[in-house]
Chains A and B, each alone.
Chain A
Amino acid sequence: MARKIEGEMKSKPDMSEIEIKELRNTIKAASMKAIAENIERMKKAWPDRPQIMQYFDEISNFFGQREEEIRAHKEAGKKVVGYTCMFTPVELILAADAVPVRVGSGWYDAAKLGDRIVPVEVCPVIRSTIGAKMVHLSPYLELSDAIINPLTCDGRTKLSEIIGADKTVWTMCLPRVKDSPQSRNLWNEEVGVIKKKIEDLTGTKITGKKLRASIKLVQKATRAFRRLQGIRKGHPVIMGRDAMLVNQNSMWDDIKRWTEKTEELCDELEKRVNQKVWACPPETSRVMITGTPMIWPDNWKIPNLIEESEPQGLLVVDELCSSDRLLYDPVGVDEWTMSDMLDAVAERYLLTSTCPCFTSEHGNEDRINWLLDRIKEFKVDGVIYYVVRGCILYAMEYARIKKILDHMDIPVYYLDTEYTREDVGQMKTRIEAFLEMLEARVEI
């Protein structure tokens, strides 16, 4: 009945083509400005930024080289499969000779547009994606032949329905309990179903040989990723924002080329370790960020403030599904049979996740252990717990994590913000006070 009444309109807003075009152009211009400004700020804070970073700057432009490349792939007959969340098994997309690309959005202005469809209480990451779809802002989203949307939080669950109004969206149902046998079964089945959908879309059979090749390809990316993370454990040879940008690029770049460029960057950084050429003074307070994903380009607010603050902070590691958790875990295959490979792929996404969408007998203990391990490995002085308004799951896990970190004598600060540029002053005050506190602790 309902479907009959709504027909094609679904949640689509009433906007004229002219309005859509004007809004798109305005937001696109603001976004390109934000990209250029962020890169300028990163260069300024790190005067001897390696030449190779220019490559990542280039790829980080959503309206540049990478858009053209993906368009060319599409014109040559390849399918583009967008995804909203890191639970998506990209190995399967690659194995079908399709192009995987992450489409989550960090656009502030697009979030405002999303308010026309959903209330402001909804998480801005979701509102921003809705807004981007409304005005066809994201080239990656528009170029996608299908979008894989893992149903992690409530926002993402409803997102499928809204952007599904005029885009093919494939959901992947995640269990709420991560480690029970029935959860594993459900997820394995979901992975199997998505494999079939990808095969049907592309008309390419995912053979054992192809899957093995794509697993190996992503394992190589993991190796490069881990190498860069390893370098960040020592004295600073790379600023945190730059490492974050490199890691985020892996979500939309060609993964093979990204791996090569990241290895190249690591070669240069290792030289600098040997020459003791530091990106900032080694005594700079070492900060970790955990919480809501922080997505390029507009939502670079907090990393910018941390690394430009007085006293300065260095972002050494984060626990964000938009950067340092992305490629950390490799797919571990025992036997290269089809079923073993699929199990291994499914396991790599489910079991290694520290996302607060899960609970288990001991709550989301995996996240706490992850944080404690990284705090030790990266010699973290203080943790910024970043939450955007409406991100209920991360907000609710704070109390437990705060208690544990207090017990370990690791300062943690709860920084709540929005997709807005207007609160930069307040954010700056808080971040400066936090870094001042870290510095004072060292002096004692």
Chain B
Amino acid sequence: MISAGIDMGTQSAKVAILKDGEILSKGKAFCGFKPKDAAEEAFGEALTNGKLSRDEIRHVTATGAGVDLVSHFDSTISMMGADAQAGVYFFPSARTVVDVGAEDARAVSCDERGTMLDFVVNSRCAAGAGTFIEAMARALEVKLEEMGPLSIKAEKATPINASCVIFAESDVVSLIHRQKSKERIARAIYAALADRVSSMVHRLGIKPEVVLVGGIAEDVGFVAALERTLGMNILIPEDPVFAGAIGAALTASKRIEKVK
């Protein structure tokens, strides 16, 4: 039984294909100005990687902020529902799944079957999402992938005004002018984002284990900052950026089962 999940995010489209509950292949494409093509491209890549043809896929479930831009699918699931499914698939002990994407952050609590029990979302403000780190990396003139390693070199953070991305950017510039170390500024940037995500998770209520998914889970700087502010270890799956797509594919499998 082969199923697929498409996660149409704000920055990239991700596709995961499952065979009998095991991940068979994945595909990813950046949205750029043609998000519709990105979904197709990611799907094509996943099919090629799995040496499959489209007809072999029994059910496709789509999710993500841009789900309306996906042209072919059989059903949809909310991003929060997909996160819950994926979190428990990766770690059966997971009861809270935190997902920080490019433009929003969310936290879901779930049961042992991956059924969503409650959720909270922050999509009001870029200071609470992954884009914040990108903007700050630009201000610090370091590459995005260097931000995390840079931040963990610092033992302390230099406080910044992170209530707003735009203000934070000018604050960072003035800190550089005052010759504050980039390491400490980077650490402060992660601390600011982690604080926002942490208050969101607290509003939901923290039930261990906590899993972090989404692109930012690969960023050592953010993971360290979030673990510090939550005061606990966080589980990170392999390829966390595909969590939404995998959650959608798991939903697709369940829906095939249900029809049987």
Q: Which residues of B contact A440 (CB under 8 A)?
A: 81, 115-116
Is A109 an interface residue, CB under 8 A from the partner? no
Task: Tell me, yes or no, whether A411 is within 8 Å of chain B by CB.
Answer: yes
Identify 25 residue pairs between A and B in the complex whose beta-carbon atoms are under 8 Å apart, listed by A's number: A310-B76, A411-B117, A411-B118, A414-B120, A425-B65, A426-B121, A426-B123, A429-B79, A429-B121, A430-B121, A432-B78, A433-B78, A433-B79, A433-B116, A436-B77, A436-B78, A436-B81, A436-B116, A437-B116, A437-B117, A437-B119, A440-B81, A440-B116, A441-B115, A444-B115
- Of B65, B115, B117, B118, the contact of A429 (CB 8 Å cutoff): B65
Nearest Cβ in chain B — how far from A147, in angstroms?
Answer: 34
The docked-state distance in angstroms from the alpha carbon of A96 to that of B120 is 50
B133 within 8 A of A: no
A444 to B114, CA, bound (A): 12
Distance between Cα atoms of A426 and B66 in the complex (Å): 11
Q: Provide the A196-219 mask, 1 if CB < 8 A to any CB of B, else 0.
A: 000000000000000000000000
Of A310, A433, A441, A444, the residue contacting B119 (CB under 8 A) is: A433
Using Cβ atoms and an 8 Å threshold, which residues of chain B touch A414? 120
* CB-based closest 3 A-B pairs: A433-B78, A433-B80, A437-B116
Interface members, chain B 103-120 (any A CB < 8 Å): 113, 115-120
Closest-CB distance, B68 to chain A (whole angstroms): 9
Cα-based distance from A256 to B119 in the complex (angstroms): 45
Bin the interface of chain A by size: 10 to 19
A93–chain B nearest beta-carbon distance, Å = 41
Known: A426-B121, A429-B78, A437-B118; 5 extra A-B contacts, CB below 8 A, are A432-B78, A433-B79, A433-B80, A436-B77, A444-B113
Nearest A residue (CB) for B64 = A429
Number of interface residues, chain B, beta carbon within 8 A: 16
Task: Please provide the chain A residues from 405 to 444 with a CB less than 8 Å away from any CB of chain B in the complex.
Answer: 411, 413-414, 425-426, 429-430, 432-434, 436-437, 440-441, 444
User: Which chain A residues lie closer than 8 Å to B78 at the CB level?
Assistant: 429, 432-433, 436
For the complex, what is the distance from the CA of A304 to the CA of B90, rounded to whole Å? 37
Given contacts A411-B118, A430-B121, A444-B115, contact A437 B76 (CB under 8 A): no
A444 and B120 CA atoms in complex are apart in Å by: 22
In whole angstroms, how far apart are the Cα atoms of A310 and B118 in the complex? 18
Complex CA gap A215/B210 in Å reads: 58
Please, how many angstroms separate the alpha-carbon atoms of A375 and B147 in the complex? 50
Residues of A173-216 whose CB lies within 8 A of B:
none
Set of chain B residues within 8 Å of A425, measured between Cβ atoms: 65
- B118: chain A residues at CB < 8 Å are 411, 413, 437
Within 8 Å CB of B120, what residues of A?
Answer: 414
Residues of chain B lying within 8 A (CB to CB) of residue A413: 118-119
**Using an 8 Å CB-CB cutoff, how does the interface string of B75-92 with A read, 1 for contact, 0 for none?**
011111100000000000
With a cutoff of 8 Å between Cβ atoms, the chain A residues found around residue B119 in the complex are 413, 433-434, 437
* Residue of B78, B116, B117 ringed by the most chain A CB atoms within 10 A: B78
Closest CB-CB distance, A54 to chain B, in whole Å? 33
**Which residues of chain B in 98-146 are interfacial with respect to chain A, using CB atoms and an 8 Å cutoff?**
113, 115-121, 123
Residues of B within 8 A of A310 (CB): 76
Taking the closest CB of chain B, its distance from the CB of A120, in whole angstroms, is 13
Q: B179 to nearest A CB, angstroms?
A: 37
- Distance from A158 Cβ to chain B, minimum over Cβ atoms (Å): 25
- Chain B residues lying within 8 Å of A426, measured Cβ to Cβ, are 121, 123
Question: B116 contacts which chain A residues (CB < 8 A)?
Answer: 433, 436-437, 440
Give the CA-CA distance A425 to B118 in the complex, in Å. Answer: 20
For A436, the chain B residues whose CB sits under 8 A away are 77-78, 81, 116
A437 neighbours in B (Cβ, 8 Å): 80-81, 116-119
By a CB distance below 8 angstroms, the chain B residues around A429 are 65, 78-79, 121
Q: Which residues of A contact B77 (CB under 8 A)?
A: 436
Contact with B along A58-102 (1 / 0, CB 8 A): 000000000000000000000000000000000000000000000
Report the nearest A residue to B77, measured CB to CB.
Answer: A436
Q: How far is the CA of A426 from the CA of B129 in the complex (A)?
A: 15
Bound Cα distance A429, B76 (Å): 11
Inside 8 A of B65's CB, which chain A residues have their CB?
425, 429
Residues from chain A with Cβ under 8 Å of B121 in the complex = 426, 429-430
Bound CA–CA A3/B123 (angstroms): 45
Inter-chain CA distance A310–B77, complex, in Å, is 10
Q: Taking each of A429, A436, A441, which has the highest tally of chain B beta carbons within 10 Å of its own beta carbon?
A: A429
Please, how many angstroms separate the alpha-carbon atoms of A437 and B114 in the complex? Answer: 11
Max count, chain B CB within 10 A of own CB: residue among A411, A432, A433, A434: A433
Distance (whole angstroms) from the CB of B111 to the closest CB of chain A:
8
Q: How far does the alpha carbon of A434 sit from the alpha carbon of B117 in the complex, in Å?
A: 9
**What residue of chain B has the Cβ atom nearest to residue A399's Cβ?**
B203
State the Cβ distance, A408 to closest chain B Cβ, in Å: 14
Alpha-carbon distance between A437 and B80 when the two chains are bound, in angstroms: 9
What residues of chain B lie closer than 8 Å to A411, measured between beta carbons? 117-118
Contact present for B81 and A433 (CB under 8 Å): yes
